[in-house]
Amino acid sequence: AGMTGVFYPCTCVFVQREPPQFIASAFTDFGKWMDGWETRRKRISGHDWCIIQLGVPGLIHGFDVDTSFFTGNHSPHVSIQAGCLDQLPTFTLEGDRTDMAASDSQMAAVTKLGSEAWPELVSVSELQPGYSDSCHNYFRVNFNRRVTHIRLNMYPDGGIARLRVYGVGQRDWSSVSTNQLVDLVALTNGGVCLGYSDAHFGHPRNMIGLGRAANMADGWETARRLDRPKKLKVDQQGILQVPGREWAVFRLGHPGLISSIEVDTNHFKGNFPDSCRIEACTLTPEEETQCIRTRWNSGKWQVLLPPQKLRPHHIHHYSEAELMPSHPVSHVRLIIAPDGGVSRLRLWGRLTPINAASVNQRRPTSKL
């Protein structure tokens, strides 16, 4: 698309999850087909830009501007600005505008946003061409305000294959009632994976992602433990008696009282865990930092969900009656035995008051 500016309210090519690809023989009526966003060679004043609505509003810690395969046509420089919009603007895409700039009505709608005056997260910076050893252009960000939209400026034109925005989700909790059930660990609500024992085939942060898992890669799967007994035995509940276990620790998006749990082994049919249990605790920011240093060997963990036998490719629901008596918590640890894969973890509960000073002192950390 050759454009002076455009607003993307949802998914567009260069923010797709899949890595970019190159097809040497692919051409269109507008020129070489490229897997990304490429503007025409600019022959008028100005520079090209687009505005993107984040899939998950939150705190941004970094960017990857990926120029893969744009070797003679990458954008030489970029800058990135950010805004937080209380109300989402309404834009009409007006059909396929390939090889065209944004329409007059779209430009008028964008003008109302004042995006050219948004705070700058990445100042004008040089990009490297899209060869395999130089295509990833990483930018660290120190910006402590919630972001819903970003404006990507390319100077003056060119191509970008993918844009990755790394950070921690942050929900506006002011509109959430303390009587409302919320998935306290969801990525969209600010849940963060802080540590894990093993992530051989998938990362545990996937378990708090959107919707149900698309496949096994969209979940958490560990390697098979080598300390498994040569012959397996079970207890009266049918749970394997094995020495090993794997675990993942999460900070909730907001402290709360958990009343129900969902453990989903969707897609894991011959490689699901035999059993799981969940522990919980309340930690201050200082205690959290210490736990990270000690690989979570903390004595504050208390059992929230006792050991449960799991089934393959199944959503396991645990009601309040099946949970141990609990108090408001800020962190949870999912433990599986002996190994295997889990696609989603949901922790439904109600918010509890949070100390404002503690929130201000807490700097979200993540392996996102």
* CA atoms lying within 13 Å on the CB side of residue 324: 15
* Per-residue confidence band for 14, with pLDDT thresholds at 50, 70 and 90: low
For residue range 97-154, list pLDDT tens digits in order.
777 788 888 888 888 899 999 999 999 999 999 999 999 999 999 999 999 999 999 9
* Per-residue confidence band for 95, with pLDDT thresholds at 50, 70 and 90: confident
96 pLDDT more than 80: no
Which pLDDT does position 176 carry in this prediction?
92
For residue range 112-121, list pLDDT tens digits in order.
899 999 999 9
367 pLDDT more than 50: no
363 pLDDT more than 70: no
pTM beyond 0.85, yes or no: no
* Per-residue confidence band for 89, with pLDDT thresholds at 50, 70 and 90: low
Which pLDDT does position 138 carry in this prediction?
98
Which pLDDT does position 94 carry in this prediction?
72
For residue range 238-263, list pLDDT tens digits in order.
999 999 999 999 999 999 999 999 99
Which pLDDT does position 275 carry in this prediction?
98
For residue range 176-195, list pLDDT tens digits in order.
999 999 999 999 999 999 99
* CA atoms lying within 13 Å on the CB side of residue 160: 30
For residue range 274-326, list pLDDT tens digits in order.
999 999 999 999 999 999 999 998 779 999 999 999 999 999 999 999 999 88
